[in-house]
Each structure stands twice: as structure tokens, then as C-alpha cells.
Amino acid sequence: MRVAVPREIKPAEQRVGLMPAGVTALVRDGHEVYVETGAGVGSGFDDDAYAAAGAEVVDRDTVWERAELLVKVKEPVAEEHALLRPDLVLFAYLHLAANRPLTEALLRAGTTAVAFETVRSGRILPLLQPMSEIAGRLAAQSAAHHLQSNAGGPGLLMGGVPGVAAAKVVVIGGGAVGTQAALAAVGLMADVTVLDADGARIRELTDLMGHRARVLMSDEHVLEDEITGAHLVIGAVLVPGAAAPKLVRREHLATLHDRALLVDVAIDQGGCFETSRPTTYDDPTFEVDGITHYCVTNMPGVVPRTATRALANATAPYVRRLARDPRQALAEDPGFGAGLNVAEGGIRHAGVAQAFPDLPADLD
């Protein structure tokens, strides 16, 4: 199979879909690999490294034209929609439930689209977890910066100092993102509360956090009580493949601490705050009713030397299986098959179909 890796063009995105080691494995398996010029530079891999691994380094048009399996990191942006084809298998983060234009483009093109974020392995989302862990740590790290006055914040040190209270931090969601965000905030000595709605996960988090953070079973009343007076709320809610629920509504903003900060890590799936909208690292924040919102969509993209390695470690075995036979790979492993979001002009994932009930779907 012809496997191709384009250079990512989403703002502030410097990750790459395959490392040179992944290229070597694919070439040994008998596949042809094409890598766009400069695709890996931001992650620490120059063109010579890919050539030495057995890839042909080519321009953008050639990458897309020759691809049978296209391995990206982030979803195709608007200028790439016209490059989609019916004989193409796309493997990347897609987050389609929050992206109608891309969903429609994939349906029109007849492209087979397999999303990293909905591939399963038991209870785990193995291709999402490493980036969720990075995003969670970055959420706390970015929040600490944006609470400072030089970043337009209220001028708070997250952990306070002896005799001065720490910032009140509420993390909504106790999955990979929320856990890492909470641990990072605890490490900064903040006053941290984690909310989750799964009893088993509550017990796991309680054991993990010990006395360093409160872990509470979440419902609408508990959430309202806990965010009242909060300096920082981190949204880390995930419904795999589906749009994130809007848990913090606009009327809640008045209950937060003056000039509080909301960090919505669920923004790739539409965001879990009613007032969220996507932002970029070039312009990461905006205000609603005096509350700062931080809603950067591709947070791990700014640490590509870490993120590419973590991602490729997880995705490489799946790429090799797709390259051997996409249909067989998805059919023989239900967890891998859960990654199929669109094929042959129809939506194949229930969460995406629920988000766009007017679009054609084939869920059988």
C-alpha cells in the first residue's frame, strides 16, 4: 500500500503522523511511504531522516495524490477538503461531532475516515490517552500563566504562599485529561476539587489523590456548588465520538470568582462550557461576562517533540494493520472498528450520527 504523511498546516501544529522508525517498519512490511517535505521538522525529524528510513520525500500535491492510506495528526482543514477522495483511507484525529463542514466533505468525497479518538481497547481509548495526558498537564500549566496579571489575569499564584490562600481549582471530568490536570494543579499547591459521574472512577481517583485533592460525585447541584467562587475551572469531559455536554452554562459565570479563568480542554468535541468557542495559540483567550475563556483546540501541538513520540508509539501498530488490509483490520478487531467514523458516503459512528441526524448514516 502507498502510505503518505502530509505536513500539518493547522495553526501552531507541529506534530507529524509517523516517526522515521514507523517508516522503517512500513517499508520492511513491503509498503511505499511518502512524506511531505518538512513534515517532521517541528518534531525533530528532518527530511534526511525520513529518506534514510526508506521514505520518498515529496511535495504536498504528490503526498495527497499518491496516498492510499493518509496518516495525519489533526483533521483536514478547509483548504484540504478538496483533496479528499473515495479511494483514500484517512487516519487522524477527526472530532467530527463538532465539525459539520469536515463531516460533509468526507461524505461527499466517499473517503474512509478512521478517527484516533474513537479507537477502543477495553475501557481505554489508546490513541487518545497520550494526548489527553499531555493536554491535561498543559491545561494546568497554561492556567497558571493566564492567572498572572502580565497575561491579563487577576494576578494570582495558583498555589498561594504561607498565610495566603491558594487558588480554588475545579476540574470537571476525571478521565485522562482531568486526572493529569488535577495532578499538575496539586503539584502547584492549588486547592483542587475533581468532579466525576462514574462511581468506579471516583474510587480510583480517591485512591490516587489521597488527601491532596477532593474527589466528588458530580451532579448538577454539586457542580454549581463547587464552581461557586472558583478561580479556575478546567473542563475535561469526554463522550467518545460525540459532542461534549454543556455542563457550565452562561448563568453560572456570575457565580465564579471575579475575573476567573475557564479552560475548556473538551473544545475539540465542541466544548463543555456553553460560552466556549475555539481559539488558537496566537489568540488563546476571550472574555464573556468578565470571565476569561481559554479554548485552544490542539493544545499538544506546541510540544511536538514530546507529543509526536507519545502519539506515534500508540498509533504505529494500528497504521501497520491498516496498511496490510484496512477492511480486515477494522472488521477483525471491534475496538479498532470503533474508530471508523465515515465510509462510502455514510456516517458509521453513532456519536457523529447523533450530532448530525440529517446526514446519511449506516450504523449496521
Q: Is residue 261 part of a domain?
A: yes
* pLDDT of res. 240: 83
* pLDDT of res. 192: 98
* pLDDT of res. 207: 97
Q: Is residue 360 part of a domain?
A: no
Residues 313 and 232 in one domain: no
* pLDDT of res. 182: 98
* pLDDT of res. 260: 97
Residue 238: CATH number of its domain: 3.40.50.720
**pLDDT over 90 (residue 19):** yes
Residues 349 and 245 in one domain: no
Model confidence, pTM: 0.93
What share of the chain has pLDDT > 70, as a percent? 100
* pLDDT of res. 308: 98
Cα distances from 89 to residues 28, 109, 160, in angstroms, run: 21, 11, 50
pLDDT of 256-288, one tens digit each? 999 999 999 999 999 999 999 999 999 999 999
Question: Any idea which residues carry the catalytic annotation?
Answer: 95, 268
Residues 264 and 191 in one domain: yes
What is the arithmetic mean of pLDDT over 4-19? 96
Residues 140 and 201 in one domain: yes
pLDDT of 302-329, one tens digit each? 999 999 999 999 999 999 999 999 999 9
Residues 157 and 279 in one domain: yes
Q: Is residue 6 part of a domain?
A: yes
Cα distances from 240 to residues 89, 139, 172, in angstroms, run: 21, 20, 16
Q: Is residue 115 part of a domain?
A: yes
Rounded mean pLDDT of the chain?
A: 97
Give me the torsion for CA of 239, 120, 35, 302, rounded to 10°.
40
Rg (C-alpha) for the chain, rounded Å, is 21
Residues 65 and 198 in one domain: no
CA distance 18 to 73: 9
Q: Is residue 363 part of a domain?
A: no
Pick from 261, 193, 203, 268: nearest CA to 232: 261
**pLDDT over 80 (residue 364):** no
Residues 115 and 171 in one domain: no
* pLDDT of res. 159: 97
**pLDDT over 90 (residue 161):** yes
What is the arithmetic mean of pLDDT over 38-61? 98
* pLDDT of res. 54: 98
pLDDT of 64-80, one tens digit each? 999 999 999 999 999 99
Do residues 33 and 23 lie in contact, with contact meaning Cβ atoms separated by under 8 Å? yes
Pick from 73, 68, 90, 69: nearest CA to 39: 73
Give me the torsion for CA of 47, 31, 312, 66, rounded to 10°.
60
What is the arithmetic mean of pLDDT over 137-166? 97
What is the arithmetic mean of pLDDT over 74-91? 97
Domain containing residue 261: 129-301
Residue 243 Rama label (left phi>0; alpha psi -120 to 50; beta): beta
pLDDT of 218-254, one tens digit each? 999 999 999 999 999 999 998 888 889 999 999 999 9
Residues 29 and 73 in one domain: yes
Indicate the number of domains in the chain. Answer: 2
Residues 31 and 46 in one domain: yes
Residues 246 and 173 in one domain: yes
* pLDDT of res. 233: 98
Greatest CA separation for the chain: 65
Residues 161 and 86 in one domain: no
What is the arithmetic mean of pLDDT over 103-129? 96
* pLDDT of res. 190: 98
